[in-house]
């Protein structure tokens, strides 16, 4: 029986009814032509449920000793595994727009997983318009981390529309077949679990590792806003409504934008795709705070992952570091704002100079952990030095199919905690970037508006960059309904968002 | 601001993620002819949400002091009441049978209410066959007791199919109108809340009330199986799978039977409607334990409410006492079994002899409380002296309408706790008796079979009573699908259950 790591236990210890510690995703699919929805979904559910040997930890439940989570915690096979319980069939009320989907997914994401069973659920959701259906999955962060769940999603998808799954995608067979294909062909990314193992190992030798100690000490100082030249100016984190206490109700919204559109914008400002994403989010958050709350005098700080790899450098691999970027939300001019953001990203990268890759990994992992984790882990209970997390999950660039059903988008749902009431996660898929925003429903009312505000911010940046074709660039695909824009903050011509997103 | 009573706090203290302390109900309606389902349900949701002044506690949330629930707890108006959160729209996957409805309701009943908001949810559920829709409501036992929720349901229903609600049924206006009608016309039943107030008052003067002390002392002795002649033979409670620990997942099933059929059966054995219900449940539980678990050597004990009123006695009003009846599940012969049950009901009534009505009320209230409540209340932590609760809620004998939609049935969902993994509650409505069975999904697998077993038990008793027309009596109404019987335990001709109930 596999023991739980300290980090895994941390997620369980930190969890309560207001702060579930599961992550999720909702994927949109289009039914293959000519098939009957009911039959297709029933067959799909049957295939997923029908497995003898499940990939760990999908068949495993928690086994705690007398000391509970403070003692020895292991995974043990659930003696009465009930696949009907885990794989569920749901439906949307009419008219079955994305609005109804987001409402349902918001509710599903707000309820706790059952601790006496394997810590996951999968919901096949029917009732969408235009022959689409959706799949919402929910896995506890203690059981499956983000990277592994991406792998699991991938293992059940195929770029071949004629490929039909024989085994459950949760079965060991499917997993082995996927791993073989991965080893034979494409290069696998290092998983988050690998990072976590490193960190666990490092933590267990905490006092004996001088390098680690140095990294952590510097990190903690910068975190706390002390420490001489280690104190980065962008680490002054303003108070905001984004950093309220949360209750248990969530609001989820999602939207896709063309990757090329955002990438082109980043280049126009001499920056990256990631810089343009931050520019979009910064503009949207500024508008949201002005309209629905109060805009702080200082710029909001965002935790973002950045690549530390220099141009032409292939040795350092996919070194990704978490930094706190200044979203410069106090700056009204969009071009000036994005340049300030880019400068702060550069400063954030400089913070990691002189650290070994392992140290970078550890510090980044700590920075990305929900703040609620720190106390159970015995680390500083201070809030992390940012107002909001904007995470970028590498996705799949090909169009994928699940038993012939085309995947149209895949939107992540992360965790919100006290002091961190919103999470923005984006996944690249096909030619799009799929954004998923999850927020506390009470402290961040009408957060669904952010989707419109992001489109507006994108347009403002495009106009400021001198693009004249901005209005055509982001046009909706014909199969998606164009959203009616509620109001134009910047009062200029903008493109339309691709999905109707008010939930 | 209204303070919470000790009993209310008990429900909150006893609650955890495996044992939610809310009660619920699911009602079936048929859409009025000619109306569009989508429009009708949207209008209904709009009317319910659209109110300024809500009947307490529907607009109120918990306000706790520094000592939490151990200190001063009050109800305060929710400063950001979000009616969209409370009044929800849901849908069933195709084919939209009762099976899909029960699956959804089981899930909804298994999740915790959000403590920072008013402790209730209402779900309008579309997608049923035959122009039916369903409404599932969920209210915390600390906020609304069973009797009050019956009153609230009634206040939004009318026996006039042409009556259209103007105000939200949760509004103060609707409540006042309902109360006026009640005072002017029919006689209101004493509410459970009234009983509870009596008990609270009595408890606060615990040591000074000699009578109460005597009653409680006798009760506790009988409870513990000690105390000389107070020890009733039927209080020897066998261990059974019904008394396992529970996890957080539930299974709900429901079914209606004609009141006249069950009533006639009771009379045939010289007993009451209630005796026949116990006979039905006893036979079904016997079959369930034989097929799915292990049948104890001794009869299962059931907590049941009985009327203490003697024939011709009108003064004592609706004196209802909770007794522990011996279901005599160890007896194979159905006629012999029901006679043993009737004898134990008589013995149970005798236990209350010499008690004042107030004492009867208090003891009954204690007996009906979930065992998990006892510790927070400072009472004996022993399990109550029964294996299962079979509660009988007085309902409405007229056919009722909600904005013109005919109510076809109304099924209660109660609470299960550690040591009490199943609850059977029945409501009389129209010409039917509507049974709702809720159970822990893990410790009581395939509990949906109980519905078939109840029908079988009813037939066995009818045959044993010499009824020849048993097979015709319980015929399904044409608009409901007859359930295919899985197997005949008694190997004789039986009637069909009225709804397909496997979830």
Angle, vertex CA B208, rays to CA B204 and CA B213, nearest 5: 90
Q: Is the pLDDT of residue A229 over 80?
A: no
Q: What integer pLDDT is reported at residue B495 of this predicted model?
A: 39
Q: What integer pLDDT is reported at residue B183 of this predicted model?
A: 65
Nearest C-alpha neighbor of A259 from the set A427, A431, A425, A494? A431
What are the tokens at A338? 């994005």
> Per-residue confidence at A151, pLDDT binned at 50, 70, 90?
low
B457 sits in which H/E element: helix B449-464
Selected residue with higher pLDDT from B364 and B112:
B112
Q: Do B114 and A249 touch (CB under 8 A)?
A: yes
Q: What integer pLDDT is reported at residue B227 of this predicted model?
A: 37
Note whether B287 and B300 are within 8 A (CB). no
Which among B80, B91, B249 has CB closest to A91? B91
Handedness of CA A276, A280, A281, A282 (dihedral sign): positive
Average of per-residue pLDDT across B307-335: 72
Q: How far is A100 from chain B (nearest CA, A)?
A: 9
Q: Do B126 and A41 touch (CB under 8 A)?
A: no
The residue of chain A nearest to residue B90, with distances taken between CA atoms, is A93
Lowest mean pLDDT among A63-72, A326-335, A376-385: A376-385
Note whether B357 and B115 are within 8 A (CB). no
Q: Greatest CA separation found in chain A?
A: 67
Selected residue with higher pLDDT from B386 and A376:
B386
Contacts of A119 in chain B (CB under 8 A): none
The residue with tokens 């109001």 is: A487
| Cis preceding-peptide flag for B375 (omega within 30 of 0) | no
| Cis preceding-peptide flag for B172 (omega within 30 of 0) | no
Could you count the other beta carbons within 10 Å of the beta carbon of residue B231?
14
Note whether B232 and B347 are within 8 A (CB). yes
Q: How far is A245 from chain B (nearest CA, A)?
A: 11
Q: Is the pLDDT of residue A42 over 90?
A: yes
Give A374's DSSP letter.
T
Q: What integer pLDDT is reported at residue B231 of this predicted model?
A: 37
Q: How far apart are CA A151 and CA A169, in angstroms?
A: 11
Q: Is the pLDDT of residue B200 over 70?
A: no
Partner residues linked to B68 by β-bridges? B65
What are the tokens at A206? 């905490």
Q: What integer pLDDT is reported at residue B419 of this predicted model?
A: 81
How would you classify residue A221: left for phi > 0, otherwise alpha for psi between -120 and 50, otherwise beta?
A: alpha
Residue A30 vs residues A200, B470, B484: alpha-carbon distances, Å: 41, 52, 36
Could you count the other beta carbons within 10 Å of the beta carbon of residue B14?
23
Question: What's the 3-state SS for B237-277?
Answer: CCCCHHHCCCCCCEEEEEEEEEHHHHHHHHHHCCCCHHHHH
Query: Listing from the earlier edge strand, what are the strands of the sheet with B422-429?
Result: B250-258, B432-440, B422-429, B388-396, B301-307, B320-326
Question: Which residue segments constitute the domains of chain A, with CATH numbers given?
Answer: 2-183 (3.30.559.10), 230-349+384-397+412-495 (3.30.559.30)
Question: What's the 3-state SS for B3-21?
Answer: ECCHHHHHHHHHCECCECC
Partner residues linked to B412 by β-bridges? B25
Q: Do B247 and A116 touch (CB under 8 A)?
A: yes
Could you count the other beta carbons within 10 Å of the beta carbon of residue B30?
17
Q: What integer pLDDT is reported at residue A75 of this predicted model?
A: 92
The residue of chain B nearest to residue A18, with distances taken between CA atoms, is B114
Lowest mean pLDDT among A42-46, A139-143, A194-198, A457-461: A194-198
- Could you say which of B141, B151, B176, B292 is catalytic? B141
Handedness of CA A98, B138, B4, B67 (dihedral sign): negative
Compute φ and ψ for B158, nearest 5 degrees. -145, 150
Nearest C-alpha neighbor of A123 from the set A52, A16, A60, A48? A48
User: How much of chain A exceeds pLDDT 90, in percent?
Assistant: 44
Which among A18, A38, A114 has CB closest to B247? A114
Compute φ and ψ for A344, nearest 5 degrees. -70, -30
Catalogue the E-assigned strands of A57-149. Answer: 60-65, 68-77, 87-91, 120-126, 132-140
Q: Do B116 and A92 touch (CB under 8 A)?
A: no
Q: How far is B452 from chain A (nearest CA, A)?
A: 21
Nearest C-alpha neighbor of B467 from the set B307, B285, B261? B261
Q: How far apart are CA B200 and CA B208, in angstroms?
A: 14
Q: Do B441 and A82 touch (CB under 8 A)?
A: yes
Q: How far apart are CA A148 and CA A116, in angstroms?
A: 22
Select the highest-mean-pLDDT range: B3-17, B66-80, B105-119, B405-419: B105-119
Cα B134–chain centre separation: 18
Compute φ and ψ for B81, nearest 5 degrees. -60, 130
Compute φ and ψ for B405, nearest 5 degrees. -85, 125
Question: What ipTM, to 2 d.p.?
Answer: 0.79
> Per-residue confidence at B5, pLDDT binned at 50, 70, 90?
confident
Cα A411–chain centre separation: 8
Q: Is the pLDDT of residue A361 over 60?
A: yes
Average of per-residue pLDDT across B316-340: 84
Which of A41, A44, A80, A91 is the best mutation test for B, with the most CBs of B within 10 A? A91
Q: Do B93 and A126 touch (CB under 8 A)?
A: yes
Q: How far apart are CA B289 and CA B238, in angstroms?
A: 13
Catalogue the E-assigned strands of B141-264. Answer: 250-258
Cα B403–chain centre separation: 25
Selected residue with higher pLDDT from B147 and B195:
B147
Q: What integer pLDDT is reported at residue A254 of this predicted model?
A: 97
Q: Judge residue B193's burial from the number of C-beta atoms within 10 Å of its C-beta, 0-12 exposed, 13-18 middle, 19 or more buried.
A: middle
Compute φ and ψ for B60, nearest 5 degrees. -110, 145
Query: Which positions of A are catalytic?
Result: 141
Give A206's DSSP letter.
G
DSSP string of B406-425, one letter each residue? EEEEEEEE---BTTB-EEEE
- The per-residue pLDDT of chain A, averaged, comes to 78
DSSP string of A135-188, one letter each residue? EEEEEETTT--HHHHHHHHHHH-BS-TT----S-TTBHHHHHHHHHHHHHSSPP
Note whether B280 and B426 are within 8 A (CB). no
Collapsing DSSP states into helix, strand and coil, what is residue A268? helix
Burial A281-291 (b: 16+ CB within 10 A, else e): bbbbbbbbbee
Give B369's DSSP letter.
S
Q: What integer pLDDT is reported at residue A182 of this predicted model?
A: 64
Q: Is the pLDDT of residue B228 over 70?
A: no
Q: Do A38 and B94 touch (CB under 8 A)?
A: yes
Nearest C-alpha neighbor of B394 from the set B310, B273, B276? B273
Q: Taking the CA of residue B322 as centre, how many other CA atoms within 13 Å lie in the half-sphere pointing to its CB?
A: 24
- The per-residue pLDDT of chain B, averaged, comes to 78
Tell me the pLDDT tens digit for each residue of B366-416. Answer: 665 555 454 444 444 344 568 898 988 777 888 999 989 999 999 989 888
Which of A19, A21, A68, A93 is the best mutation test for B, with the most CBs of B within 10 A? A93
């Amino acid at each position: 029986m596999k023991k739980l790591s300290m980090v895994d236990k941390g997620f369980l210890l930190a969890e309560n009814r207001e702060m579930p510690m599961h992550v999720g995703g909702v994927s949109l699919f289009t039914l293959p032509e000519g098939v009957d929805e009911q039959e297709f979904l029933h067959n799909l559910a049957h295939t997923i449920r029908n497995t003898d040997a499940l990939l760990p930890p999908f068949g495993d439940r928690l086994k705690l000793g007398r000391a509970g989570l403070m003692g020895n915690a292991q995974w043990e096979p659930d003696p009465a595994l009930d696949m009907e319980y885990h794989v569920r069939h749901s439906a949307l009320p009419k008219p079955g727009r994305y609005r109804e989907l987001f409402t349902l997914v918001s509710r599903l994401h707000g309820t706790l997983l059952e601790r006496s069973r394997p810590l996951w659920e999968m919901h096949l959701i029917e009732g969408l318009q235009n022959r689409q259906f959706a799949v919402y999955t929910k896995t506890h962060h203690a059981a499956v981390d983000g990277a592994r769940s991406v792998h699991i999603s991938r293992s059940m998808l195929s770029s071949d529309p004629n490929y039909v799954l024989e085994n459950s995608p949760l079965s060991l067979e499917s997993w082995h077949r996927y791993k073989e294909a991965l080893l034979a062909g494409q290069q696998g990314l290092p998983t988050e679990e690998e990072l976590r193992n490193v960190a666990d190992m490092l933590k267990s030798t905490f006092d004996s590792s001088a390098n680690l100690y140095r990294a952590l000490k510097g990190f903690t100082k910068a975190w706390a806003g002390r420490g001489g030249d280690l104190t980065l100016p962008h680490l002054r984190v303003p108070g905001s409504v984004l950093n309220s206490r949360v209750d248990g109700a969530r609001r989820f919204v999602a939207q896709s934008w063309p990757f090329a559109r955002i990438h082109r914008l980043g280049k126009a400002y001499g920056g990256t795709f990631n810089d343009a994403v931050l520019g979009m989010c910064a503009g949207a958050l500024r508008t949201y705070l002005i309209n629905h709350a109060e805009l702080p005098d200082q710029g909001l700080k965002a935790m973002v992952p950045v690549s530390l790899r220099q141009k032409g450098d292939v040795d350092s691999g996919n070194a990704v570091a978490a930094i706190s970027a200044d979203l410069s939300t106090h700056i009204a001019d969009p071009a000036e704002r994005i340049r300030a953001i880019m400068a702060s990203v550069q400063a954030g990268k400089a913070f990691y100079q002189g650290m070994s890759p392992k140290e970078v990994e550890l510090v980044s992992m700590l920075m990305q952990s929900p703040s609620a984790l720190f106390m159970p882990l015995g680390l500083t209970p201070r809030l992390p030095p940012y107002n909001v997390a904007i995470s970028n999950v590498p996705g799949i660039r090909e169009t994928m199919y699940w038993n012939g059903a085309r995947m149209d988008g895949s939107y992540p749902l992360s965790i919100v905690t006290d002091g961190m009431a919103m999470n923005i996660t984006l996944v690249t898929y096909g030619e799009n970037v799929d954004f998923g925003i999850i927020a506390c429903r009470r402290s961040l009312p009408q957060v669904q508006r952010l989707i419109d505000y992001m489109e507006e911010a994108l347009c403002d940046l495009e106009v400021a960059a001198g693009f004249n074709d901005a209005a055509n660039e982001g046009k909706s695909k014909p199969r998606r309904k164009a959203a009616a824009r509620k109001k134009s903050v910047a009062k200029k011509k903008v493109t339309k968002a691709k999905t109707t997103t008010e939930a």
